[in-house]
Amino acid sequence: MTSSKARGMVAAFGVVALVAAGCAVDDDDGEPDDPGTVEEDPDDPDDPPEDEPDGLAFDLGVTEEACPAGVNPDNGCIYLGVLSDLSEGPFAALAIPITAGQEAFWQRVNEDGGIGGFDVDISTYTRDTLYDPQEHSARYREIEPNVLALAQTLGTEPTEAILSDMDSDNVIGAPATWWSGWHFEDADQGLILESGYSYCIESQIGLDWVSGNVAPPSSVLAVGYPGDYGGDSAAGVEAWAEANDAEFVGWVETAPDAVVGSQDAAIGQVVGSGADVVMLAVGPAEAAAIVGGSMANGFEGQFLGSVPTWNPALLGSPAADALKAAYLHIAPWEGWEADTPGHEAMRETVGDNLPDNEGFIFGWVWSYPIKAALEAAVANEDLTRAGLRSVVDGLQVDYEGMLPDATFGGDRDESAIRTAVINRPDDDAALGVTPVEAGVTGETADAFEYTAPCA
């Protein structure tokens, strides 16, 4: 479809788009190029503004009608889908603020005029998929006819479950997951616009930091969910052990409490391992149970937690003291109080009302690549699904300082982000963690040959 209703280009493009063929374009002498057309009267409210193009093509998920809760009544609407864990799944405590962070991000975009004459709606097609691949797939099929892209698809395995359908449908998406496969087109079909490091690199950065700032571990253990979340993290632990002549004790597979009932079996294996450092890739509740239970049973090693393992509510749990004593959290970007333009803009959207946890930051950061893709597609005058997909390779993303600017495509070994933030639990911190060190890199992580998914 090509818009028959004038659509304005946002000022961020820095250019004034010309109207499609068949409309007059004035030259320097003020005479119309086409003598058969009539100059627009600038005082006539029925004439579209000169900087609004007629030629923008669009199809599924884009309407000329305003969004149901749009900010700009004269704008059309871009509908983005959200597939998340919003009630009973193991990441609901994180996913609800993640979604709120994305809603705040797009509200800011809309208040700044929208994108190409359209507001962006991510609420109408938000669905709870319970961190379940089958539910994720069913809800995707439900919303797919009505969305241009996915603002969020939460979970590695749930997202993998819909990749083939996304490929057939030309639907790109932002992942709420850090699986290493999202960095490689062979694994994600060029559809997933990831931000930050991978679980695999995260493990190596964390172990490099412990080795240099605590003590070099002689033995390391991975504990995680089955599949490519826990597996990716465990692969990083194993790679680190091999590179540093340490013993890789193994990977303890566990599952959410809702599936296995308790973490007693994992705790027993942690205690029995005698590992110096344990890398956790589970949910927050499971992380607290494993750390608290292991320490109570005599374990004396150090715990490192992947991004999704933390929730400030854990400071009110029975495991709080154990977490403060033996757990460090790894993050791909700085926390709530960081001094960047992106963090400042994010904080302004909530005022004095702090979010429940850092999931809000995740949702905000993950939205930048989709925004950049929409702007690039509008600049190309092709907001169809195929047009949006076509801009991904070579897409440049400005994270407003929250992450280094990124370009999709190219040599991923060269472009992969290999920096992290090491945090410790802190009762007095805004969201329950204080940075021990930001901008952390490591020799092992930097030297790792990142040419394919780790798991």
Q: What is the DSSP string of 370-410?
A: HHHHHHHHHHTTEESHHHHHHTSTT-EE--TTSS--EE-SS
Q: Is 252 a domain residue?
A: yes
CB-CB neighbours of 395 under 10 Å = 19
Say if residue 192 is in the same domain as residue 203. Answer: no
What pLDDT score was predicted for residue 55? 87
Helices (H) and strands (E) in the chain, counts: 16, 17
Say if residue 87 is in the same domain as residue 160. Answer: yes
pLDDT greater than 80 at residue 6? no
Say if residue 250 is in the same domain as residue 133. Answer: no
Q: 48-83, pLDDT tens digit by residue?
A: 333 334 689 999 999 999 999 999 999 999 999 999
Q: Is 203 a domain residue?
A: yes
What pLDDT score was predicted for residue 81? 98
Q: Is 35 a domain residue?
A: no
CA 196/CA 306 separation, integer angstroms: 13
Say if residue 215 is in the same domain as residue 99. Answer: no
Dihedral in degrees, nearest 10, Cα atoms 289, 156, 361, 338:
80
Say if residue 300 is in the same domain as residue 350. Answer: no
Q: Are 94 and 362 in contact (CB under 8 A)?
A: yes
Q: Is 7 a domain residue?
A: no
Instruction: Report the percent of the chain where pLDDT is more than 70.
Output: 88
What pLDDT score was predicted for residue 379? 98
Nearest CA among 346, 348, 355, 332 for reference residue 438: 332
What pLDDT score was predicted for residue 46? 43
Q: 206-221, pLDDT tens digit by residue?
A: 999 999 999 999 999 9
Helix residue ranges per DSSP H, 144-229? 156-169, 185-188, 199-213
In which band, very low, low, confident or very high, does the pLDDT at 3 lie, cut at 50, 70 and 90? low
What number is the average pLDDT over the span 157-165? Answer: 97
What pLDDT score was predicted for residue 2? 57
Instruction: Report the percent of the chain where pLDDT is more than 90.
Output: 87
As for how many domains the chain has, the answer is 2
We report the CATH number of the domain holding residue 222 as 3.40.50.2300
CA 79/CA 144 separation, integer angstroms: 10
Domain that holds residue 318: 199-331+418-447
What number is the average pLDDT over the span 322-328? Answer: 98
pLDDT greater than 90 at residue 15? no
Query: Higher-confidence residue: 315 or 25?
Result: 315
Q: Is 32 a domain residue?
A: no
pLDDT greater than 70 at residue 23? no
